[in-house]
Structure 1
Amino acid sequence: MRAKIAYFITAAVLVVYFVLAGSRGLMLIRHGTWLTVTFGLAVLILPVIGVWFLWQNTRFVTRANRLATELEAEGGLPVDELERDAYGRIKRDSADEVFARRRAETEDAPGDWRTWFRLAVAYRDARDTPRARQAMQRAISLHDGRQRS
């Protein structure tokens, strides 16, 4: 729940920033000289890119949460079987062992979105965020019926 609140607060702050930057860009364009119009257009590009990025991330998170809810209803959501140190951090050897098991499951059933979802969780536990995101995108595309290579 804390992550959702942080996400919505961050998204709200970004939207406020996009509105402020966009209004400054429009102000520069209204000024009317070739230099201010050019600079104003350049300033407007940043909010457009930011809105697109925020939309893509929100869509990704929503779809991943939908898969997690479905997998939980099936009883297939991965349980936390990782060993932790005294401070609560995941031990690297434990994460590597679980990751190897999840990777083998995915290699045995590459067309099953559930194995890709669990592999994404294992990647995240191993602190490999880019691969975790790719595995989750693969799980989403398999679940939604789109093939992704």
Structure 2
Amino acid sequence: MAVKQKDPRPLVLMIGFMVLAMIVYLALLSRLAIRLLQSGGAVGIGMGLGVLLLPLLGLWIVFQTLRSGIEHQRMSAAVDEAGRTLIVEHLPHRPSGRLERDAADELFAQVKAEWEADPSDWMSTYRIARAYDYAGDRSRARQMMRRASEGYRAAVRAD
């Protein structure tokens, strides 16, 4: 059963705008860094180097975030295509939209048993990462999602 997908265009436009704004900001910071470096003073050069590192760090963060988001979307689509998406709409939710604790724990127990049967399967690892998130354990969810990403990349390379 496929989950109904929202129209991604507004989100893509928002991300595009944010990336464009970040590029403008990084260009302005780079210009400031160059001016500081050209000042010739030790303090100016030191600050110029520091300010120059900020745009580079910003570019790296933007690149990694977009790369990770795109990869997670691809993994989600592959899991959905395989019919292994975690369906949680039928489970009880709090007014905030989060799953009720007991329901999340029960879902987690089911997915954990599946994962323990084959921890090398990236789809099972993806599913347990989602289950950790539903259960409220975000740090373990991120850890398992990184592991799922590694398995996904290995599977893509093998194909």
TM score, norm. by length of structure 1: 0.84
Aligned to 1:64: 72
Q: Percent identity?
A: 32
Question: Against the structure 1 CA distance between its residues 87 and 56, is the aligned structure 2 distance closer, same or farther, given a 3 Å change threshold?
Answer: closer
1:137 corresponds to which letter in structure 2? R
1:101 is aligned to 2:110: yes
Q: Distance in 2 between matches of 1:40 and 1:22?
A: 9
Which moves more between the two structures, 112-121 or 128-137?
128-137
From 134, 142, 145, the counterpart of 1:136: 145
Secondary structure, in 3 states, of the residue corresponding to 1:145? Answer: helix
Separation in 2 of the partners of 1:98 and 1:9? 37
Deviation at residue 16 of structure 1 after TM alignment: 2.6
Amino acid at match of 1:16: V
Residue 128 of structure 1 deviates from its aligned partner by 2.6
Q: Deviations over 1:67-116 (max 9, x none)?
A: 11112112112112431134533212211221222122111110111111
Deviation at residue 5 of structure 1 after TM alignment: 4.7
1:21 to 25, 29, 33: 29
CA contact (8 A) 1:82 1:98 kept: no
Q: Say yes or no: does 1:121 pair with 2:130.
A: yes
How many Å apart are 1:143 and its aligned residue? 2.1
**2:57 matched to 1:49?**
yes
1:5–1:92 distance in 2 versus 1, CA, 3 Å: farther
> Shift of the alpha carbon at 1:39?
0.7
Cα 1:126–1:19 shift into 2, 3 Å: farther
**Structure 1: runs of 5+ lacking an equivalent:** none
**What stretches of structure 2 of length at least 5 have no aligned partner?**
1-7
In 2, Cα distance between equivalents of 1:132 and 1:10: 26
TM-superposed deviation, 1:4: 4.4
Amino acid at match of 1:97: E
